[in-house]
């Protein structure tokens, strides 16, 4: 058994339309081959990669997808920013997750009449418990066309006391990007390139910046499916990559734990990662709009990457649901049965 598999096992143990569109085939000579054939039936899916530890079990592309295609990973970017915060804490650039907006963004926080906003912590931002009304969904367009994204995020009304309720908002992660930039002295893209993406062999591609020049925290980073797989394998191995600890192991463990339950879908949420049961297994995943996924099943040392094209016919909700059906019905059972399946 490979070293990465051993580390993962030791360290991280712990809808109707879609149903009509996708039905599992009877088991074939290779269970995973059957799973890939069924994956091709999911209209929006463009890639599916399955790995166990550092061994790639299978890789398929569909509907115009390819190994070299860079996809907009959407909110998987939040999981990347979460990792960067963990690195900055380990380097002493940030003094843990208890720092408040009043301390870290005093020029902005001091302009807020509600003193509770000044007490929002890094922990609150990471876990979507800031209490600020969302800048996502129907509010996203107005937010990203505002003259100052920082101020616009902070001026959202408080819907609950900070730290007490879950409200998904990309604005929270943009505030983290600003905090990272100020704390490290490097813009978020450069810091990511030096500390995380570069060591993983992933180019730090350009993505959106706000009117003040800060890189958008939590959206629109570009990756290939294979690059997303490396990111997932890094988390499975508790932050270690080719003998180097890129992200602290305790940060990985803190990120992949249920801090709050989403009011949107009932899933657990940690630091930029979602959690739920899949086929009876604890699973954690980085999730981007339109069907972009990095899924970890730690007990099985399993990493699954899926990308999708949300503009394709019948859309991304179907791809999301069908992908989870596929994992539960075929991929996870196949990995349980065969400890070392291989697909050429």
Burial of 218 (0-12, 13-18, 19+ CB in 10 A): buried
Residue 94 lies in a domain: yes
Say if 315 falls within a structural domain: yes
Percent of the chain with pLDDT over 70: 87
Enclosing domain of residue 255: 3-69+224-337
Verify that 130 and 155 share a domain, yes or no.
yes
| 242 and 183 assigned to the same domain | no
Q: Pick from 135, 164, 188: which residue ends a domain?
A: 188
**Domain end point (choices 127, 161, 188):** 188
Q: Cα 75 vs. chain centroid, distance in angstroms?
A: 6
Strands (E), the chain: 45-52, 55-61, 71-72, 222-223, 240-241, 244-245, 260-261, 268-269, 274-278, 281-288, 292-297, 302-308
pLDDT bucket at 18, cuts 50 / 70 / 90? very low
Q: Same structural domain for residues 56 and 81?
A: no
Looking at the domain assignment, is residue 31 inside a domain? yes
The span from the CA of 84 to the CA of 180, in Å, is 8
Task: Tell whether the torsion through CA atoms of 257, 259, 261 and 262 is positive or negative.
Answer: negative
CATH number at residue 298: 3.40.710.10
**Residue 199, in any domain of the structure:** no
* pLDDT at residue 7 tops 50: no
Among the residue ranges 6-10, 104-108, 197-201, the one predicted with the least confidence is: 6-10
Last residue within a domain, chosen from 165, 188, 211: 188
Q: Cβ distance 248 to 85 under 8 Å?
A: no
- Band (pLDDT 50/70/90 cuts) for residue 309 is confident
Question: Do residues 239 and 329 both lie within one domain?
Answer: yes
Q: Is 115 helix (H, G, I), strand (E, B) or coil?
A: helix
Q: Are residues 45 and 120 in the same domain?
A: no
Per-residue pLDDT for 2 more than 50?
no
Q: What is the pTM of this model?
A: 0.90
Same-domain pairing of 36 and 95? no
- pLDDT-derived band at 28 (thresholds 50, 70, 90) equals very low
38 backbone φψ class: left, alpha, beta (φ>0; ψ -120 to 50): alpha
Number of C-beta neighbours around residue 23 at 10 A: 11
Task: Kindly report, residue by residue over 63-81, the tens digit of the pLDDT.
Answer: 999 999 999 999 999 999 9
Structural domain count of the chain = 2
Domain identity same for 237 and 306: yes
Contact between 1 and 13 under an 8 Å Cβ cutoff? The reply is: no
């Amino acid at each position: 058994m490979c070293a990465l598999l051993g580390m993962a096992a030791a360290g991280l143990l712990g809808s109707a339309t879609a149903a009509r569109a996708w039905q599992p085939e009877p088991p074939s000579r290779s269970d995973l081959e059957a799973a890939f054939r069924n994956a091709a039936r999911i209209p929006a899916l463009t890639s599916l990669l399955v790995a166990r530890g550092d061994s790639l079990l299978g890789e398929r592309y569909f509907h115009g997808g390819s190994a070299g295609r860079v996809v907009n990973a959407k909110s998987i970017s939040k999981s990347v920013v979460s990792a960067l915060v963990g690195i900055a804490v380990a380097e002493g650039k940030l003094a843990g997750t208890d720092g408040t907006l009043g301390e870290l963004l005093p020029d902005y926080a001091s302009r807020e009449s509600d003193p509770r906003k000044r007490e929002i912590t890094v922990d609150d931002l990471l876990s979507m418990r800031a209490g600020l009304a969302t800048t996502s969904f129907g509010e996203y367009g107005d937010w990203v066309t505002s003259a100052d994204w920082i101020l616009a995020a902070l001026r959202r009304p408080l819907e609950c006391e900070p730290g007490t309720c879950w409200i998904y908002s990309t604005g929270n992660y943009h505030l983290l990007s600003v905090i990272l930039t100020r704390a490290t002295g490097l813009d978020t893209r450069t810091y990511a390139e030096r500390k995380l993406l570069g060591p993983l062999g992933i180019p730090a591609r350009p993505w959106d910046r706000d009117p003040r020049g800060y890189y958008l925290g939590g959206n629109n980073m570009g990756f290939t499916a294979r690059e997303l797989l490396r990111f997932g394998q890094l988390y499975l191995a508790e932050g270690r990559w080719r003998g180097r600890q890129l992200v602290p192991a305790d940060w990985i463990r803190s990120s992949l734990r249920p801090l709050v339950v989403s009011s949107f879908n009932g899933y657990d949420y940690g630091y930029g990662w979602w959690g739920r049961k899949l086929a009876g297994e604890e699973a954690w995943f980085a999730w981007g709009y339109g069907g972009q996924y990095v899924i970890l099943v730690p007990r099985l040392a399993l990493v699954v990457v899926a990308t999708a094209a949300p503009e394709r016919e019948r859309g991304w909700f179907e791809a999301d649901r069908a992908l989870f059906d596929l994992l539960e019905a075929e991929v996870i059972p196949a990995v349980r049965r065969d400890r070392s399946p291989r697909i050429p």
